[in-house]
């Protein structure tokens, strides 16, 4: 009996429910990777070889 139309005769469009949580998770993962590389990664002196 469900014809795909909602209240008022407008067609109801269904969206995937995992899109937004996955996007938030990926953005958080990328920001955490940048943050960790900035604080734990090699410094400019280490890359140039100035430090023993």
What are the pLDDT digits (tens) for 14-29?
Answer: 777 889 999 999 999 9
Q: What proportion of the chain, given as a percentage, has pLDDT over 90?
A: 40
First CA to last CA across the chain, in angstroms? 76
Residue, of 13 and 18, whose pLDDT is higher: 18
Flag whether 24 is in a domain: yes
Q: Which residue has the tokens 């960790």?
A: 36
Structural domain that includes position 25: 19-48
**Total number of domains in the chain:** 1
* Alpha helices, H only, 1-52: 19-40, 44-48
Flag whether 6 is in a domain: no
């Amino acid at each position: 009996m469900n014809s795909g139309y909602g209240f008022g005769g407008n067609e109801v469009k269904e969206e995937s429910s995992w899109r937004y949580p996955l996007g938030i998770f990926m953005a958080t993962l990328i920001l955490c990777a940048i943050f960790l590389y900035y604080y734990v990664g090699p410094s400019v002196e280490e890359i140039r070889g100035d430090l023993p």
